[in-house]
Amino acid sequence: MRLLVIEDDKDINRQIVAALEHAGYAVDHALDGEEGYFLGDTEPYDAVVLDIGLPKKDGITILEAWRANGRMMPVLILTARDRWSEKVQGFDAGADDYLAKPFHMEELLARIRALLRRATGHATNELVCGSVRLDTKSGRVIVDGAPIKLTSHEYRLLAYLMHHSGRIVSRTEIIEHLYDQDFDRDSNTIEVFVGRLRRKLGVDLIQTVRGLGYMAAPPVETTDGKR
Amino acid sequence: MRLPRLPENSIATRLFLTAAASSFIVLLIASLFFTAYYRRETEVVFERRLEVYLRALVADVAQSGEEGHTDPGQLGDPQFELPGSGWYWQITRMDGATQDIKASRSLFANRLPKLADRGVAAELGGFRRGFVEGPDGRRLRIVERVIDVGDMGVYLVQVAASDEEMEEQIERFHFALMVAFTMLAIALAIVAAFQVRFGLRPLRRLQQELSAIRRGEDERISGAYPSEIAPLANELNLLIGANRDILERARTQVGNLAHALKTPLSVIVNEAYSTPSPLADKVSEQATIMREQIGFYLDRARAAARGGAIGASTQVAPCLDGLLRAFRKIYAERNIAFIGEASADMRFLGERQDFEEMIGNLLDNAGKWATREVVITIVAETPPTPDARSFLCITIDDDGPGLTPDQIREATQRGRRLDETKPGSGLGLSIVADLAVAYGGALELEKNAAGGLRARLRAPGF
Confidence of residue B382 (pLDDT cuts 50, 70, 90): confident
Kindly report, residue by residue over B282-327, the tens digit of the pLDDT: 888 888 788 777 777 777 676 666 655 566 788 888 888 889 988 8
Domain that holds residue B300: 217-311
Picking from A62, A93, A119, the residue at the C-terminal end of a domain is A119
- Chain A positions in Cβ-Cβ contact with residue B287 (cut-off 8 Å): 102
Domain count, chain B: 1
Q: Which of B267, B270, B314, B364 has the most A C-beta neighbours within 10 Å, making it the best mutation to test the interface with A?
A: B270
- Chain B positions in Cβ-Cβ contact with residue A114 (cut-off 8 Å): 333
CA atoms within 13 A on the CB side of B228: 6
Contact check, Cβ <8 Å, B356/A107: no
Contact B350, B389 (CB under 8 A): no
Q: Which of B275, B296, B329 has the most A C-beta neighbours within 10 Å, making it the best mutation to test the interface with A?
A: B329
Contact B128, B145 (CB under 8 A): yes
Task: Decide: helix, strand or coil at residue A216.
Answer: strand
Higher pLDDT, B86 or B27: B27
Element (H, E) at A166: none
Quick check: is A222 in a domain? no
Exposed/middle/buried for residue B122 (C-beta within 10 Å: 0-12, 13-18, 19+): middle
Residue B38 has pLDDT above 90, yes or no: yes
Q: What is the mean pLDDT of residues B221-235?
A: 86
- The DSSP line for A87-106 is HHHHHHHT-SEEEESS--HH
Q: Which of B263, B275, B325, B355 has the most A C-beta neighbours within 10 Å, making it the best mutation to test the interface with A?
A: B263
Confidence of residue B177 (pLDDT cuts 50, 70, 90): very high
**Nearest chain B Cα to A11, which residue?**
B267
> What is d(CA A192, CA A206) in angstroms, rounded to the nearest whole number?
13
Quick check: is A132 in a domain? yes
Picking from A102, A119, A136, the residue at the C-terminal end of a domain is A119
Nearest to A12 among B258, B266, B329 (CB): B266
Quick check: is A68 in a domain? yes
- Strands B337-341, B373-380: pairing is parallel
pTM exceeding 0.95: no
Asked if residue A158 and residue A102 are part of one domain, the reply reads: no
User: Is the CB of residue B269 less than 8 Å away from at least one CB of chain A?
Assistant: yes
Cα→Cα distances A210→A78, A190, B295, Å: 42, 14, 57
Asked if residue A152 and residue A76 are part of one domain, the reply reads: no
Q: What is the pLDDT of residue B315?
A: 86
Q: What is the mean pLDDT of residues B209-224?
A: 78
Q: What is the pLDDT of residue A4?
A: 92
What share of chain B has pLDDT > 70, as a percent? 87
Contact check, Cβ <8 Å, B360/A87: yes
Q: What is the pLDDT of residue A30?
A: 92
Asked if residue A108 and residue A11 are part of one domain, the reply reads: yes
- Residue (of B430, B426, B396) closest to B413 by Cα position: B430
Confidence of residue B26 (pLDDT cuts 50, 70, 90): very high
> What is d(CA A148, CA A145) in angstroms, rounded to the nearest whole number?
10
Among B68-82, B137-151, B250-264, which range has the highest average pLDDT?
A: B137-151
Asked if residue A189 and residue A147 are part of one domain, the reply reads: yes
Quick check: is B184 in a domain? no
Nearest to A105 among B263, B273, B332 (CB): B273
Contact check, Cβ <8 Å, A103/B267: no
- Chain A positions in Cβ-Cβ contact with residue B265 (cut-off 8 Å): 101-102
Helices marked H in chain A — which ranges? 10-22, 33-42, 59-68, 84-93, 105-119, 152-163, 171-178, 187-201
- Chain A positions in Cβ-Cβ contact with residue B255 (cut-off 8 Å): 81, 83
Asked if residue A105 and residue A72 are part of one domain, the reply reads: yes
Domain that holds residue A182: 126-216
Secondary structure (H, E, C), chain B: CCCCCCCCCCHHHHHHHHHHHHHHHHHHHHHHHHHHHHHHHHHHHHHHHHHHHHHHHHHHHHHHHHHCCCCCCCCCCHHHCCCCCCEEEEEEECCCCCCCEEECHHHCCCCCCCCHHHCCCCCCCCEEEEEEECCCCCEEEEEEEEEECHHHCEEEEEEEEECHHHHHHHHHHHHHHHHHHHHHHHHHHHHHHHHHHHHHHHHHHHHHHHHHHHHCCCCCCCCCCCCCCHHHHHHHHHHHHHHHHHHHHHHHHHHHHHHHHHHHHHHHHHHHHHCCCHHHHHHHHHHHHHHHHHHHHHHHHHHHCCCCCCCCCEEHHHHHHHHHHHHHHHCCCCCCEEEEECCCCCEECCCHHHHHHHHHHHHHHHHHHCCCEEEEEEEECCCCCCCCCCEEEEEEEECCCCCCHHHHHHHCCCCCCCCCCCCCCCCHHHHHHHHHHHCCCEEEEEECCCCCEEEEEEEEEC
**Nearest chain A Cα to B359, which residue?**
A84
User: Is the CB of residue B360 less than 8 Å away from at least one CB of chain A?
Assistant: yes
Quick check: is A226 in a domain? no
Higher pLDDT, B117 or B318: B318
Residue B6 has pLDDT above 70, yes or no: no
Q: What is the pLDDT of residue B221?
A: 83
> What is d(CA B392, CA B379) in angstroms, rounded to the nearest whole number?
6
Q: What is the pLDDT of residue B421?
A: 38
Q: What order of strands is seen across the sheet that includes strand A140-143?
A: A126-129, A132-135, A140-143, A146-148
Quick check: is B267 in a domain? yes
Q: What is the pLDDT of residue A62?
A: 92
Asked if residue A78 and residue A51 are part of one domain, the reply reads: yes
The CATH number given to whatever domain includes residue A197 is: 1.10.10.10
Quick check: is B282 in a domain? yes
Asked if residue A97 and residue A29 are part of one domain, the reply reads: yes
Q: How many CB pairs under 8 A join A and B?
A: 97
Task: Decide: helix, strand or coil at residue A177.
Answer: helix
Asked if residue A135 and residue A108 are part of one domain, the reply reads: no
**Nearest chain B Cα to A87, which residue?**
B326
Asked if residue A7 and residue A99 are part of one domain, the reply reads: yes
What share of chain B has pLDDT > 90, as a percent? 8
Rounded to the nearest angstrom, the minimum Cα separation between B316 and chain A is 13
Asked if residue A108 and residue A17 are part of one domain, the reply reads: yes
- Residue (of B70, B90, B69, B71) closest to B80 by Cα position: B90
> What is d(CA B173, CA B198) in angstroms, rounded to the nearest whole number?
37
Domain count, chain A: 2
Contact check, Cβ <8 Å, B274/A15: yes
> What is d(CA A52, CA A40) in angstroms, rounded to the nearest whole number?
15
> What is d(CA B373, CA B450) in angstroms, rounded to the nearest whole number?
11
Element (H, E) at A209: strand A206-209
The CATH number given to whatever domain includes residue A70 is: 3.40.50.2300
Q: What is the mean pLDDT of residues B10-24?
A: 87
Asked if residue A10 and residue A109 are part of one domain, the reply reads: yes
Contact A87, A42 (CB under 8 A): no
Q: What is the pLDDT of residue B36?
A: 93
- Chain A positions in Cβ-Cβ contact with residue B259 (cut-off 8 Å): 53, 80-81
The list of chain A residues with pLDDT below 70 reads: 123, 182-185, 187, 219-227
- Chain B positions in Cβ-Cβ contact with residue A118 (cut-off 8 Å): 332-333
Q: Which of A101, A106, A109, A118 has the most B C-beta neighbours within 10 Å, making it the best mutation to test the interface with B?
A: A101
CB atoms closer than 10 angstroms to residue A96: 22
User: Is the CB of residue B267 less than 8 Å away from at least one CB of chain A?
Assistant: yes
Asked if residue A104 and residue A13 are part of one domain, the reply reads: yes
Quick check: is B302 in a domain? yes
- With b for 16 or more beta-carbon neighbours within 10 A and e for fewer, the B249-268 pattern comes to eebeebbeebbebbbebbbb
Confidence of residue B216 (pLDDT cuts 50, 70, 90): low
Q: What is the pLDDT of residue B306?
A: 60
Task: Decide: helix, strand or coil at residue A214.
Answer: strand
- Residue (of B61, B49, B45) closest to B145 by Cα position: B61
User: Is the CB of residue B257 less than 8 Å away from at least one CB of chain A?
Assistant: no
